Structure 1
Amino acid sequence: MGLFSGNGGVKGFRAAKGDLRLDEVTKEFGEFTAVDHLSLEVPRGSFFALLGPSGCGKTTTLRMVAGLEQPTYGRIRIGDTDLTGSRPYERPVNTVFQSYALFPHLSIRDNVAFGPKRRGQGDAAAAADRALELVQMTHLAGRKPTQLSGGQQQRVALARALVNQPEVLLLDEPLGALDLKLRRQMQVELKRIQTEVGLTFIHVTHDQEEAMTMADTVAVMNRGKIEQLGHPEALYDLPRTSFVANFLGQSNLGHGRVTGRDGDSLVVEVAGTTVRIPAARSSVSEGEITFGVRPEKVRITTTPPAGAGEDVKARVMDVSFTGVATQFLVTVPSGATWMVYEQNLDVERNSLRPGDEVWLEWDAGHAFGVPVDEAAEVAAAVEEPAEAGPVQPAATS
């Protein structure tokens, strides 16, 4: 018997089990294409995140999986069952929204038991208690929603979805209404719950920290398409487009041209500076290229580096102490603004001031190359940053 096993049976679409598959799914609103020939497979029992800026199509995709919207073209399947055209209540899918939508006149236990009772499940109250125990809310089962904090209400909304034993649980910006500290706590809790129940979770968010903290797999969406999909660490370490490089964290980027090879590396000329990119870390092998390196991979010194790494002279524009690290904004010879993050291991180290001349150094093995796409860089850079860190301007040339 499962965690919430009971007497209520399911038929037809609700009996569907297996991986979630979207095949060439397209959604058009008049002349506007919100989702454009999107195909993906979400393994059963995984935590999957759709990440992207407002208007990229992620919420529309979620609504199509839920049955709240129907695709203009394409199919949506769970296992061997085609759900395309079915209604929301017919699908083995539940959604947790940013707005909790709890019944204010019912107790917390009755809110969670509402779905099983409506289906005629005999042990609805017991199932509700098991769901509340899972989200650690049993001690507040007798209270009304207005007596709970935002974080507590979110847990109740999650329990109300889990008690229905969905094959797929959709999370639509579920933590957006919480303050930063509580949101981080709930990120850990959501991952714990997903691991414990083993359901497929699909989380839609524009917050990169949420996606990377919780998801097994992240799909970065832009303009109705998936730009890149993979494990969070892999996407961050090796972006394949300018958009992903600047949306998933920040990157120092420079436009250049491949001028040759040096062993396993590409030799690239960027604004008069020669840099190297491992060929395996570049999605471009010749011609125009965008060179990139993450801010935390760059070291800043007041004297020319003596090592064999890449380096460039720069001038400090701004120094910001952020607690764990110090953020430096510097101008490089091309005129672009670069960022450098330096961990605050030595309290007396941060003596640099605006106007100081410095050298930047990085290991060539940390660089990456992506196709030139100025529009994508701008689109990612101007998107409102997540609250998880300081506001960061675009670092592009």
Structure 2
Amino acid sequence: MGLFARGTGGAGGVREAKGDLRLESVTKSFGNFTAVDDLTLHVPRGGFFALLGPSGCGKTTTLRMVAGLEQPSAGRLLIGDADLTGSRPYERPVNTVFQSYALFPHLSVRDNVAFGPKRRGLADAGTLADETLELVQMTHFAGRRPGQLSGGQQQRVALARALVNRPEVLLLDEPLGALDLKLRRQMQVELKRIQTEVGLTFIHVTHDQEEAMTMADTVAVMNAGRIEQMGAPEALYDLPGTAFVAGFVGQSNLVPARITGSDGDHLVLDAAGTRVRVPRERAAVTSGDVLFGVRPEKVTLDAGPSGDPASGGVTATVLDVSFTGVATQYLVTVPSGGQWTVYEQNLDVEPRRTRPGDEVSLSWNPAHTFVVAADGIPEGAEGKAFIATAEATS
């Protein structure tokens, strides 16, 4: 039936549980601190799911509860109809791949991978190890020890050691954090290939939005122990539902605004003195004080001042120009004093000759804008940039 053929599940207890992973009103507190707050989550069987968020948001605590390394203060965790709550890690059909690899340095690659099946007394442990090493493309390194491998190769071995146990759910705890940028991107593609091939449920915990969006079918953005927004990566990026998501998943130009009326299917906003139109379907809130947003790559920058501000154009002054290879990043000051970022793809042989101090015009398609509630300022660099913009435009 193959290495990862599935049974019908259910009858053999928690270890043989099969099905979707469900968290039902799960809370985890440490003293007076609530790390995970009434979390309800449904992860379909066989999907690639990512928990994305900053340090301290509760994502790693959630992973540890699924693994059995922590027990919830309230709520239940289930795989299919089997209740995992209270069971020990080794009793669950769950394995974890850690950032630190955690390989046995004195064992060969093959023996590292075969360790789990041997411990369970499986007669074909060696064959299972060989098949799994072939899956992660490490067959030629079976006789080496971990110290003789690169970081990326060690990560593949750690993945194989988890996969060989045929878990129903595989947990990935910041698995690529120790790798350099180029290798990390290669491993993102490899992890997605492997997940697709084996068809297991992967749950990836990361603070790196590129990792989450590259690999996962569904991304849940966590903040302060709760899920701010969940959906397909492209949906989260194109239409964030909160200021936190807009600032954490990629970059956004966010401006405090007030909804002043409507124009057909569009809302009309006053954004620091500029009249802007936003499709009603792209607004998370439809009245009062809000945040108007547009992604940097959705803004068009043209030389010279805007001819018609009422039509959506805004005159700005260039503060900084940064060449990044595939694109050029412009930092500009808009009339209110706030700062916007604009990305322009480098398509022309001759680059644009825009320099700091030049006057330019900014424009955008209303279909690329969005409106979120005027709260939930993101943390980190994106939050600092947002705060500066909000202060300058208010």
Instruction: Give the structure-1-normalised TM-score.
Output: 0.94
Residue identity matched to 2:253: N
1:350 is paired with a residue whose SS is: coil
- Residue equivalent to 1:315: 317
Matches within 5 A, 1:139-158: 139-158=140-159
> Tell me, which stretches of 5 or more residues in structure 1 are unaligned?
384-391
Instruction: Write the deviation string for residues 160-179 of structure 1: whole angstroms up to 9, x where unpaired.
Output: 00000000000000000000
Instruction: Write the deviation string for residues 227-272 of structure 1: whole angstroms up to 9, x where unpaired.
Output: 0000000000000000000100000000111000001000000111
Q: 2:340 aligns with which of 338, 352, 369?
A: 338
Query: How far apart are the structure 1 equivalents of 2:69 and 2:365?
Result: 49
CA RMSD, aligned part only? 1.9
Tell me, yes or no, if the aligned pair for 2:258 and 2:290 is still in contact at 8 Å: yes
1:376 is paired with a residue whose SS is: coil
> Tell me, which stretches of 5 or more residues in structure 2 are unaligned?
none
Deviation of 1:349 after TM superposition, in Å, equals 3.4
Query: How far apart are the structure 2 equivalents of 1:325 and 1:238?
Result: 23
Runs of 4+ in 1 over 6 A off after TM superposition: 392-395
Residue identity matched to 1:204: V
Distance 1:30 1:150, change over 3 A: same
- Residue equivalent to 2:186: 185
Instruction: Write the deviation string for residues 267-324 of structure 1: whole angstroms up to 9, x where unpaired.
Output: 0001111001100000111111100000000001123357995211111000000000
Tell me, yes or no, if the aligned pair for 2:275 and 2:310 is still in contact at 8 Å: no
Instruction: Write the deviation string for residues 51-71 of structure 1: whole angstroms up to 9, x where unpaired.
Output: 000000000000000000000
Distance 1:378 1:337, change over 3 A: farther
Q: 1:369 aligns with which of 359, 362, 371?
A: 371
Identity of matched residues, %: 73
Q: 1:353 aligns with which of 348, 352, 355?
A: 355
Distance 1:85 1:309, change over 3 A: farther
Tell me, yes or no, if the aligned pair for 1:315 and 1:331 is still in contact at 8 Å: yes
Deviation of 1:12 after TM superposition, in Å, equals 1.9
Residue identity matched to 1:327: Q
- Residue equivalent to 1:166: 167
Residue identity matched to 1:310: G
Instruction: Give the structure-2-normalised TM-score.
Output: 0.95
Deviation of 1:148 after TM superposition, in Å, equals 0.5
- Residue equivalent to 1:386: none
Q: Does 1:327 align with 2:295?
A: no
Query: How far apart are the structure 2 equivalents of 1:27 and 1:379?
Result: 25
Tell me, yes or no, if the aligned pair for 1:243 and 1:380 is still in contact at 8 Å: no
Instruction: Write the deviation string for residues 88-143 of structure 1: whole angstroms up to 9, x where unpaired.
Output: 00000000000011111111000000000000001000000000000000011011
User: Which stretch has the larger CA shift, 80-89 or 349-358?
Assistant: 349-358
- Residue equivalent to 2:86: 85
Deviation of 1:216 after TM superposition, in Å, equals 0.1
- Residue equivalent to 1:387: none
Query: How far apart are the structure 1 equivalents of 2:286 and 2:174?
Result: 38
Matches within 5 A, 1:1-397: 1-4=1-4, 11-303=12-304, 304=306, 310-373=312-375, 375-379=376-380, 381-382=382-383, 396-397=389-390
